[in-house]
């Protein structure tokens, strides 16, 4: 398949290029950047030297890109992807958006949290958390790739919600991310001297991944629910550890919790069930498309605690996008994604 990447110079665009360099069924045709148009991608990311000789095109050439592509990955800031996605979809090109523009079925929720009008509300986009929405992704023309915190947290909680094992008003998510999740742009908050030997929460009670998590968990609960979500930045480049708490319903046994995870993910390649009592760690998923899950039953408080570890740039972004690409084109969804995690 002929593939293009719109917005290729951010960390997720770079990670897409790294992964697709080893994909046997994907040929990169166009890559774009409005700020670096005409520059060689290997000059911006020297580690891609010998893999790509491409120079960066402009979005002004979107019609040309559409005509040459079977699929386009969009790595633009929120508010910008939907205009490009509308043109690409009308040209019959499959679209995978790594931003937020196509993640919400209700455009009003998007507009409330992202503060911009949605210009492609009738897109019929599918939410691309592959393990949970695979059948919809197969038939999709546009996929909204999930956020990084959301991937880790939804995968952790979906089995419990689906089986009705927890009190829906009790969900608390405490998640910690490497600084690459903030993007490549310069910011005081991600400055080395601000982050080194530091750990801090941000956007408490107001992070934009909150309604995304609630949307997916509502699907599996069959009724609306509200969560408490607190994200943190930690002084490392990549990785997310999401610790999710919920109160178990009366009479729910540890074995019922074990069975819920096995029933939903027992046949999934990219979700590794480490089991009850396990401690997933970010380094064990670094550079890979795996999500590692472990869970604990606190009998004293009646709570279940689920630990979820992913690489935010791979399973939380580019890797999951390639997984969705594979599903959309009828390929083995592991194609191009069989890299073992980097350790140590």
Amino acid 343: pLDDT: 94
Amino acid 185: pLDDT: 82
Amino acid 173: pLDDT: 98
Q: Does domain 2-124 have CATH number 3.90.245.10?
A: no
The structural domains of the chain, with segments of one domain joined by +, span 2-124, 149-313
Contact 187, 181 (CB under 8 A): no
The tokens describing 266, both together, are 């027992």
pLDDT (tens digit per residue) in 252-291? 999 999 999 999 999 999 999 999 999 999 999 999 999 9
Beta-bridge mates of residue 172: 228, 245
Amino acid 70: pLDDT: 98
Which residue among 3, 96, 129, 148 is the active-site one? 148
Amino acid 183: pLDDT: 87
Is 148 labeled as catalytic in the residue annotation?
Answer: yes
- What percent of the chain stands above pLDDT 70? 100
Amino acid 184: pLDDT: 85
Amino acid 187: pLDDT: 86
Residue 158 burial by CB count (10 A; 0-12/13-18/19+): exposed, middle or buried? buried
pLDDT (tens digit per residue) in 101-150? 999 999 999 999 999 999 999 999 999 999 999 999 999 999 999 999 99
**Looking at the predicted structure, is the pLDDT value of residue 172 above 80?**
yes
Phi, psi of 310 (to 5 degrees): -140, 165
pLDDT (tens digit per residue) in 281-339? 999 999 999 999 999 999 999 999 999 999 999 999 999 999 999 999 999 999 999 99
Question: How far separated are the first and last CA of the chain, in Å rounded?
Answer: 35
**Looking at the predicted structure, is the pLDDT value of residue 25 above 80?**
yes
Amino acid 188: pLDDT: 86
**Looking at the predicted structure, is the pLDDT value of residue 186 above 80?**
no
Amino acid 322: pLDDT: 98
Task: Name the pLDDT band for 190 (thresholds 50, 70, 90).
Answer: confident
CATH topology of domain 149-313: Dihydrodipicolinate Reductase; domain 2 (3.30.360)
The residue among 333, 249, 326, 274 whose CA lies nearest residue 155 is 274
Q: DSSP characters for 213-255?
A: HHHHHHHHHTS----EEEEEE-SSSS-EEEEEEEEBPTT--HH
Beta-bridge mates of residue 57: 32
Amino acid 189: pLDDT: 82
Cα atoms in the Cβ-side hemisphere of radius 13 Å centred on 137: 28
Cis geometry, peptide bond prior to residue 344 (ω within 30 degrees of 0)? yes
Residue carrying the six token digits 């742009």: 185
What is the chain's mean pLDDT, rounded?
Answer: 97
pTM over 0.85: yes
pLDDT (tens digit per residue) in 40-60? 999 999 999 999 999 999 999
């Amino acid at each position: 398949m002929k593939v293009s990447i719109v917005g290729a110079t951010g960390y997720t665009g770079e990670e897409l290029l790294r992964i697709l360099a080893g994909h046997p069924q994907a040929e990169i045709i166009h890559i774009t950047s409005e700020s670096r148009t005409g520059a060689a991608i290997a000059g911006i990311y020297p580690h891609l030297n010998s893999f790509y000789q491409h120079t960066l095109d402009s979005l002004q050439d979107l019609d040309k890109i559409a005509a040459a592509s079977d699929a386009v990955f969009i790595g633009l800031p929120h508010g910008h992807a939907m205009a490009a996605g509308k043109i690409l979809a009308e040209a019959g090109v499959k679209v995978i958006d790594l931003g937020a523009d196509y993640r919400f079925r209700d455009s009003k929720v998007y507009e409330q949290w992202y503060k911009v009008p949605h210009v492609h509300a009738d897109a019929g986009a599918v939410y691309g958390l592959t393990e949970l929405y695979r059948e919809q992704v197969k038939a999709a023309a546009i996929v909204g790739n999930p956020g990084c915190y959301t991937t880790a947290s939804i995968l952790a909680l979906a089995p419990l919600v689906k089986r009705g094992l927890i009190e829906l008003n009790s969900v608390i998510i405490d998640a910690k991310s490497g600084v690459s999740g903030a993007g490549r742009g310069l910011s005081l908050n991600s400055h080395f001297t601000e982050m080194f030997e530091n750990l801090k929460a941000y956007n408490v009670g107001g992070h934009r991944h909150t309604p995304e998590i609630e949307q997916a968990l509502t699907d599996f609960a069959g009724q609306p629910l509200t969560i408490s979500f607190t994200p943190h930045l930690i002084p490392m480049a990549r990785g997310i550890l999401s610790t999710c708490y919920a109160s178990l319903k009366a009479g729910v046994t540890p074995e019922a919790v074990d069975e819920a995870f096995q029933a939903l993910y027992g046949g999934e390649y990219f979700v590794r069930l480490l089991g009850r009592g396990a401690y997933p760690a970010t380094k064990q998923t670094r550079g890979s498309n795996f999500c590692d899950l472990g869970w604990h039953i606190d009998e004293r408080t009646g709570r279940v605690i689920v630990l979820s570890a992913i690489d935010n740039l791979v399973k939380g972004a580019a890797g999951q996008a390639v997984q969705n690409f594979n599903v959309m084109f009828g390929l083995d969804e592991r194609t191009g994604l069989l890299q073992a995690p980097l350790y140590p």
